[in-house]
Amino acid sequence: MRQFTELPPLGLYIHIPWCLKKCPYCDFNSHAIGEQELPENAYVDALLADLTQELPDIWGRSISSVFIGGGTPSVFSPAAFDRLLSGIRALTNLHPETEITMEANPGTFEQQRFAEFRRLGINRLSIGIQSFDDRSLRALGRVHNAEEATESVRIAREAGFERLNLDLMFGLPEQSRQMALTDLATALALQPDHLSWYQLTLEPNTLFYQQPPPLPDDDESWAMQAAGLDLLDDAGFARYEVSAFAQPRQPCRHNLNYWTFGDYLGIGAGAHGKISFASDGRIIRRRKRRNPADYLRHATTGARLSHEQEIPVQETAFEFMLNALRLKDGVETGLFARRTGLPLQVVRKQLDEAIEKGLLADDPAQIVTTALGYDHLNSVLEIFMDSGKSRTYIPIQPA
């Protein structure tokens, strides 16, 4: 049985599932608006009802961070966010300095609109730029062009957002190494404090998976990444997670909570959550109804869940490592017991095996990969994985 000496930080993830257009590579729960009128009021009602039903499990706990993802949350009006955030503040312990991140995409930026978002207490933006090259943007099916990508950053700054993440991808259709590095250099010139830079992958249930575009081969993608890592390092951006880079003291607190096996509520269509219970040592994962119309029908009736499962004790160590080893600096050794409720001894054999293979550092104070291990994370995780178990990997939004 698990025994927690303390409960982890508690984040809040809010999913807004609508966007202007469904991109052909996107496997997140997103739905094109089309000609429909957005059900803003009904959806905010559903979100607050969803949150209210979570409250008995988190009494006395503060919200450490909020992340509003999608979809494209910025398609909702400031009035909708005013009501949503006011409701959250009334229901939970949300400190004024709490990090509140909202995802936004170029093409939805208006000066007054984003100034209102900032006034409401949203203090960090994550802008889904993906590329500054018009050819690449067209290949990705994005609704914005390169000029609008740059303009979105200017508008965000003038609206008062000091904390900015820019999402970029590499390994795009027919992208050269120089094109990828030019994208990265353009992003750095805009002086964000955080960059999410990740390789395009073809995910099942996407148009790109069914009709694959011509992509750079593995060797070229590897070379793109190596050159890009050098560029980011020279610009003072530390790689603190596989695809996340930040200026000093500017990592995404919400996603750091994921990687350190923290707790989080997930509200909204298809949202995931994880909650630990000190009373009996349980760790529960929850998933909400995925279809927006289905979620709207059931969120206020107590039938918002599509799935709830207790993480078996024997799978907890793998779940912890699956997250923690994505961090470049790993985690301090004592965090394992505090987050899992289990003694480190349960993974001593696996730790020793990974150390012997040169995949983990031989450091009693820190669980951290070597350079070799970080380049071959799957090999490290296989050591901790009971191959007889099937698991659901929880998708994490870019930072």
**For the residues of 203-238, what is the DSSP string, one character each?**
-TTSHHHHS------HHHHHHHHHHHHHHHHHTT-E
Q: Which residue has the tokens 């609206």?
A: 159
Q: What token pair was written down for 329?
A: 């600096």
- Look at residue 281 and give its three-state secondary structure: coil
Asked whether the predicted pLDDT for residue 130 surpasses 50, the reply is yes
Q: For residues 380 and 317, is the Cβ–Cβ distance under 8 A? A: no
- DSSP for 101-164? EEEE-TTS--HHHHHHHHHTT--EEEEEEE-S-HHHHHHTT-S--HHHHHHHHHHHHHTT--EE
Q: For residue 13, which of 269, 250, 326, 206 has the smallest C-alpha distance?
A: 269
- Look at residue 24 and give its three-state secondary structure: coil
Q: What token pair was written down for 76?
A: 């909702």
Instruction: Let me know the angle formed at the C-alpha of 372 by 371 and 375, rounded to the nearest 5 degrees.
Output: 85
Asked whether the predicted pLDDT for residue 95 surpasses 90, the reply is no
Helix locations, the chain, DSSP H? 40-54, 78-91, 111-119, 134-139, 146-158, 177-189, 207-210, 218-234, 253-259, 292-298, 313-324, 334-340, 348-356, 371-375, 377-384
- Look at residue 61 and give its three-state secondary structure: coil
Q: What token pair was written down for 237?
A: 């951006």
Q: How many Å from the N-terminal Cα to the C-terminal Cα in the chain?
A: 34
Q: For residue 360, which of 347, 373, 348, 349 has the smallest C-alpha distance?
A: 373
Cα–Cα distances in angstroms (integers) from residue 167 to residues 132, 183, 244, in the given order: 11, 11, 9
Q: What is the pLDDT of residues 106-125, one digit of tens each?
A: 988 999 999 999 999 999 99
Query: What is the pLDDT at residue 396?
Result: 47
The tally of CA atoms less than 13 A away on the side-chain side of residue 68 is 28
Query: What is the pLDDT at residue 76?
Result: 97
- The number of residues in the chain equals 399
Work out the average pLDDT over 123-150. 97
- The band of 101, judged by pLDDT with boundaries at 50, 70 and 90, is very high
Work out the average pLDDT over 34-57. 94
Q: For residues 265 and 12, is the Cβ–Cβ distance under 8 A? A: yes
Provide the residue ranges of all domains of the chain, joining segments of one domain with +: 10-257, 331-389
Query: What is the pLDDT at residue 36?
Result: 83
Global confidence as pTM: 0.94
Asked whether the predicted pLDDT for residue 299 surpasses 60, the reply is yes
DSSP tag of 254: H
Query: What is the pLDDT at residue 391?
Result: 45
What rounded mean pLDDT belongs to the chain? 94
Q: How far apart are CA 202 and CA 221, in angstroms?
A: 14
- Look at residue 381 and give its three-state secondary structure: helix
State the burial class of residue 238 (Cβ atoms within 10 Å of its Cβ: 0-12, 13-18, 19+): middle
Q: What token pair was written down for 128?
A: 């889904």
DSSP tag of 399: -
Q: How far apart are CA 195 and CA 240, in angstroms?
A: 11
Asked whether the predicted pLDDT for residue 271 surpasses 60, the reply is yes
Q: What is the pLDDT of residues 322-380, one digit of tens each?
A: 999 999 999 999 999 999 999 999 999 999 999 999 999 999 999 999 999 999 999 99
Query: What is the pLDDT at residue 397?
Result: 53
Amino acid (one-letter) located at 291: N
The tally of CA atoms less than 13 A away on the side-chain side of residue 153 is 21
Q: What is the CATH number of domain 10-257?
A: 3.20.20.70
Query: What is the pLDDT at residue 398?
Result: 60
Q: For residues 109 and 156, is the Cβ–Cβ distance under 8 A? A: yes
Q: For residue 285, which of 188, 391, 205 has the smallest C-alpha distance?
A: 391
- The band of 300, judged by pLDDT with boundaries at 50, 70 and 90, is confident
Q: How far apart are CA 147 and CA 154, in angstroms?
A: 11
Query: What is the pLDDT at residue 316?
Result: 96
Cis peptide bond prior to 71, omega within 30° of 0: yes
- The band of 143, judged by pLDDT with boundaries at 50, 70 and 90, is very high
